[in-house]
Structures are given as C-alpha cells and as structure tokens.
Amino acid sequence: MNILLIGSGGREHALAWKIKQSPLCDRLVIAPGNPGMDALGECRPVKATDVEGLVAIARDIQADLVVVGPESALAEGIADACAAAGIPCFGPRKRAAQLESSKAFTKDFCKRHAIPTAAYETFDNVPDAREFLKSYQPPYVIKADGLAAGKGVAISPDYQDAVAEVEAMLGGRYGDASQHIVIEEFMTGEEASVFALCDGETALVFGWAQDHKRAFDGDTGPNTGGMGTYSPAPIVTPDLLDITRRDILEPTMKGMKAEGNAYTGVLYAGLMVEAGKPRLVEYNARFGDPECQVLMLRLESDLVPYLLAAAKGNLKDQPVPKWRNDAAVCVVFAAKGYPHSPLTGSVIWGADQDFGDDVTVFHAGTTRGEDGSLRAAGGRVLNVCARGKTIQEARDRAYDAIAKIDWPGGFYRSDIGWRAL
C-alpha cells in the first residue's frame, strides 16, 4: 500500500514509526513531516492545511490511504476532498469534525442524546453571559466555541475574572472562534483520555492514557497542549471503559449517524471521572498528542488494517487490538517560554544517539540548521518516550534518556506519571 500521512508533530512521528513497521506499507509519504521522520518516509513540504496540495500528492503517489494527524487539516475539509477524489481517508468529514471544532455543537449534541457532560449555556453577547454567570458558583468555566489552538478554555476563580474572560472572548480574542462562547458547570474529578476508532457505525476502543496539561511540576503553570503522558492509566478500569462505551461512545456513533453526519476516524474522549463515573469534558476528532505516542509504543497489533477499516467502514470485522503488557511514558521536552512565547533556534545535542530498544525519541518542533545541527523550531520540540514493565520503570528510562540530551534551551516536567505512582 501507498500511504500519505499528514502532519508534523510528535503524534505523526509516532504514527509514521508504527505504520512503517507494517508489512502492508510499501511506500510512506509524509506532508510536511519533520527531521525525525525523514528516515521513515519521504517528507514533502506541503502544509497540513493545504488541502489541494495534499490531494495532489495523494493522487501523485496513488495513495491507498490518507492518514490525517492534526485537527487543522480536518477543519479545512481534507476528508471531504479525499472522498471527492475517491481516496480512502482516515479522519472525519469537516461537518463531523465539529465534535472538536465547535464546543456549542458538541454540547447541543450531548443534550439531544443524553450523553453525560457538564450543564451549560451558549452566548453571543456580554450582558446575557454576565447575567448567567450569577447563577453559577466559582470556579467558572468559559470556552470559546471554535478552535483556539488549545487555549480557548478559561477557568476563572471569581466573578470579576470570569466577566473579563467573557468580554475578551466575545470581544474577539480568538477571532471567529470566540464569537460564541459556552459557559459550563465546573466538574471535579480526575481526567483521562479514551480513544476509539470509528467507521460511522462502530466505535472500537483503541487505548487510553493520561496527559499532564499544565506546564510545570505539580500541575502548576499555564495550560499546554500536553507535557507528558503515560499508558495504561490505572484510573481507566474495565468498568469505566464499559460505561464510557455504553453511555458516551455508542450514543455518539448512533446519534451522529441518525443526524446524517456519520463519524469516522479516531474519536478522542476527554473524560472527567468521579466516583467511577465518566462525564465528557470534550471530544477531539484526532489522536491526542502526546497521548498517541505512548499508545503507538504499546500497540502490538499492526496499525494499518485498523486505519484502513475505519476509513472503509468495516471495523466490526477487526479483532480486538493487542497491546503489550508494558507500560509507556512520554516526557515532552519543550522550548523555554512554551506555551506563551517559546524561544526557537537553540541547538540540541545528543537527540539522535542510540538510547536502547526501550527508548524512542519522537520529534515535533525541530529543524535542521545548514550545518546539520538539530534546532528548536516550535513549542513542544522533542518527546522522549520509553517502555518498561511498570510505569516506574518506563519513567526511569525516559528520564535517564532525557538527561543525556544536551539542550540548554529546553525544559521538561520531572513528575510525569505521578498520579499512577
């Protein structure tokens, strides 16, 4: 098979690493990819949002499958364009991807289908929103409706701050993405990410993990795209998975189909778990990053048949995926200043060394300088991932490896996995 993989982050590097191991994969082309992915496939400098350019590559290589990593490509309609070109695509249509790209869409959908989530209201003007806030207790949860690169959620400690957030968002802080806002009930509990592959009818649970969203140790500092993950996450018990399937994933598949908006690709359910009961915090229409990296390290089955089955609508014929008994941990090495203003351009030494079989370093925001040096080119730059018999062992290996990488311009959290230990 010829496969086109779209994206350039750690998530896509991990997908490329796993796809490349498949005996089904003859040729892997990646757009745009990153320096770490060079060795796995042919990287072409076309952006993930350039739908025309991507379809042209897919045609050129006679792709049997297009695998979409990031939400930006989905929101631009890559899956619709592939469908029009008759090319199987792993990823939802733009309208179905609203489960990620519009919080108001998802909340209304949950209400229609009795899917457990926080109570909420949607607003497009400040006076109504300000009045509504008075009916809630702090902390206040205020969300931009649209995609805001993971920054569109504010948790305000008091009424004053909440009103300021409402004014800033409705005043256009995130452009079109915050013309509407959602104000919702604050949920307590522990968060977990559960992934399901979907083909429009069937949702097949495909791993779970726990992320660390805050920038600094002890879950302090600003929210980020994720600073580290581990899998399996002990909070995700077989019971919790059953309830999640029954009350959240299956009603979502049925509801989307019934509304003429069948969902395919991967559905990432961000859950809040309290007393063994899950509620939906949000849906994403893609794999999590860095969650995907620990999942790929643990996946024993060939990934490609699953991606193809999701794209072609025959997931129910696939066996339950096999996972290694090992645990996996990913520690994100980010550029200083991330998430607000990461400093780029600094040189990284030692990322390419052989760390042994149990350690894999996935690249994200890296670039090669003219002198061949590896340099920081983004916020999250490297992802140091390791397997081990236990989370403790995997984590020790990841931290041993990261200590061997010489990058004064970077920082990482030293407590990834603390909840599991």
Binding site for ligand AMP (CB under 6 A): 118, 141, 153, 184-187, 191, 213, 270, 281-282
Cβ atoms < 10 Å from Cβ of 214: 16
CA angle 396, 397, 398 (to 5 degrees): 95
Residue 289 touches which member of ligand AMP, ligand GLY, none, C-beta under 5-8 Å by kind: ligand GLY
Question: Among residues 67 and 129, whose Cβ is nearest to ligand GLY?
Answer: 67
- Would you count residue 9 as binding ligand GLY (CB under 6 A)? no
- For residues 165 and 289, which CB has a smaller minimum distance to ligand GLY in the complex? 289
Alpha helices in 263-303 (DSSP H): 291-298
When CB distances are held under 5 to 8 angstroms depending on the partner's kind, the choice from ligand AMP, ligand GLY, none that residue 281 binds is ligand AMP
Instruction: State in angstroms the smallest separation of the CB of 307 from ligand AMP.
Output: 25
d(CA 307, CA 65): 8
- Interface with ligand GLY by CB under 6 A: which range of 59-67, 125-133, 286-294, 356-364? 286-294
Q: How far is the CB of 209 from ligand AMP (least distance, A)?
A: 13
Q: Which stretch binds ligand GLY (CB under 6 A): 21-29, 87-95, 281-289, 332-340?
A: 281-289
Would you call 403 helix, strand, or coil by DSSP? helix
CB nearer to ligand GLY: pick between 166 and 391: 391
Closer residue to ligand GLY (CB): 145 or 291: 291
Instruction: Give min distance, CB of 132 to ligand AMP, in A.
Output: 15
How far apart CA 85 and CA 82 sit, in angstroms, is 5
Tell me how far apart the terminal alpha carbons of the chain are, to the nearest angstrom. 42
Strand intervals (E) in 17-158: 27-32, 42-43, 65-68, 89-90, 120-123, 140-144, 153-156
Question: Contact with ligand GLY (CB under 6 A): which of 288, 321, 409, 410?
Answer: 288
Helix (H, G, I), strand (E, B) or coil at 15: helix
CB of 7 to ligand GLY, least distance (A): 12
Closest CA to 74 of 249, 269, 204, 264: 264
* H-helix or E-strand spanning residue 265: strand 264-274
Task: For ligand AMP, give the closer residue by CB, 148 or 241.
Answer: 148
Q: Which does 163 bind (CB under 5 to 8 A by kind): ligand AMP, ligand GLY, none?
A: none
Q: Which stretch binds ligand GLY (CB under 6 A): 1-9, 114-122, 156-164, 285-293?
A: 285-293
Distance CA 125, CA 13 (A): 42
| Residue given tokens 């979907």 in the structure block | 198
Q: Cβ-count burial of 386 within 10 angstroms (0-12 exposed, 13-18 middle, 19+ buried)?
A: buried
Nearer of residues 116 and 270 to ligand GLY, judged by Cβ: 270
**What residues make contact with ligand GLY under the rule CB under 6 A?**
211, 225-226, 284, 288-289, 291
